[in-house]
Amino acid sequence: MILTEIDHVAIAVKDLEAAIDYYKRAFGATVDHREVVESDGVEEALLKVAESYVQLLTPTRDDSPVAKAIEKRGEGLHHIGYRVNDCGQALASMVAAGATPIDKAPRPGSRGTTVAFIHPKGSFGTLIELVQE
């Protein structure tokens, strides 16, 4: 089995502060990490749950893929991040299994991770992110 953990569940929101506040009030959650990822046009807040995260994600510009996702489908579940030991190897394995990669090769993600996204088409409707710490 290539997957070692659910790294994060990413939820697209319009108002990051409101979403953080809600998770704080509802679950007593605290923000473990916050980062603006310019290349993806997002700001994220990571709330730690055991060894995984809830990733609240908001667009920083109108042409960001997350902005388009919210425009098309509204707020909500955006992608699942699966933790792997070797992102390149996992990507090759997925492609060999018929997956459609969005990233042809692993690239830098937030928190100093290495990531690759896989298109929901061909993956049963789920946008998948492979995450190597």
Per-residue burial over 34-64, b if 16 or more Cβ lie within 10 Å, else e, is eeebeebbbbbbbbeeeebbbbbbbbeeeeb
Least distance to Co ion, CB of residue 79, Å:
6
Least distance to Co ion, CB of residue 84, Å:
13
* Nearer CB in complex with Co ion: 29/128: 128
User: Applying CB under 5 A, does 69 fall inside the site for Co ion?
Assistant: no
User: Applying CB under 5 A, does 10 fall inside the site for Co ion?
Assistant: yes
Single out the residue of 23, 55, 59 nearest to residue 41, CA to CA.
Answer: 59
Least distance to Co ion, CB of residue 117, Å:
8
Among 87, 129, 130, 132, binds Co ion (CB under 5 A): 129
**Contact predicate 7/64, CB 8 Å:** no
User: Applying CB under 5 A, does 40 fall inside the site for Co ion?
Assistant: no
